[in-house]
Amino acid sequence: MLKKERFRRFIDYFTTNFPDPVTELHFGNPYELLVAVILSAQCTDKRINQITPALFARFPEPESLAAASPDEIFTYIRSVSYPNNKAKHLAGMARLLMSDFGGEVPGTVEELQRLPGVGRKTAHVILSIIFNQPTMAVDTHVFRVSHRLGLAPLTATTPLAVERALMAHIPKQYVPKAHHWLILHGRYVCTARAPKCPECALREGCKYYEKLMYNVQCTMNNV
């Protein structure tokens, strides 16, 4: 199957079956999403959603977070991965948000990446969800699923290379949704250790599934 056909099938399936995907992180405004995404690095959305209600109750806006010490912030996020670093990032992010952006979450990659704890992936998540910009955040799920489905070549060995491969073939109007499609598919169907190929609607034409079936056939022929 040609790459163009793989992308067409991918987009057709998800626009038909999951036309309006959303992030599983709970948030009420851009500030809360920014905090949640910073915390979600190498941590599950489920865990983040468990700790953010108390965190946002104590720090409901950038001003209160900017006035807090990393030690105090740590007490609210101690159960997430790398809590010491993330506490420092949140404190620094809030202070810069107040001093340089008037407490408003900025709307460009360059401005967002000035904030502590915000890399390219986090910036793209914010731009996609809050500003509906055609940015593709490549996390571990997007990276894995893109390669398995054959949307990204095996030579795309970095998140940036995968991002470029996806952006080259996904129409701009679908990019914000495609980010969620790939994440959710990787989280619930195309899982890392035990992908649920039998129930996957995209298995026809999937490079991973083709290889799996080829190996099964080879094993059967050798018996």
For the stretch 135-182, pLDDT in tens is 999 999 999 999 999 999 999 999 999 999 999 999 999 999 999 999
Task: Let me know if 121 is a catalytic residue.
Answer: yes
- Which of the residues 100, 121, 172, 177 is marked catalytic? 121
Give yes or no for residue 223 having a pLDDT over 60.
no
197 marked as part of a ligand binding site: yes
Task: Let me know if 139 is a catalytic residue.
Answer: yes
Q: What is the pLDDT of residue 3?
A: 87
Q: Are 13 and 201 within 8 A, CB to CB?
A: yes
Q: How far apart are CA 177 and CA 203, in angstroms?
A: 20
Tokens of 8: 């067409």
Give yes or no for residue 214 having a pLDDT over 70.
no
Tokens of 96: 């810069």
Q: How far apart are CA 176 and CA 166, in angstroms?
A: 12
Q: What is the fold of 30-131?
A: Endonuclease III; domain 1 (1.10.340)
Q: How far apart are CA 220 and CA 114, in angstroms?
A: 56
Tokens of 165: 């491969």
The 10s digit of each residue's pLDDT in 16-65 is 999 999 999 999 999 999 999 999 999 999 999 999 999 999 999 999 99
- For domain 3-20+137-222, give the CATH number: 1.10.1670.10
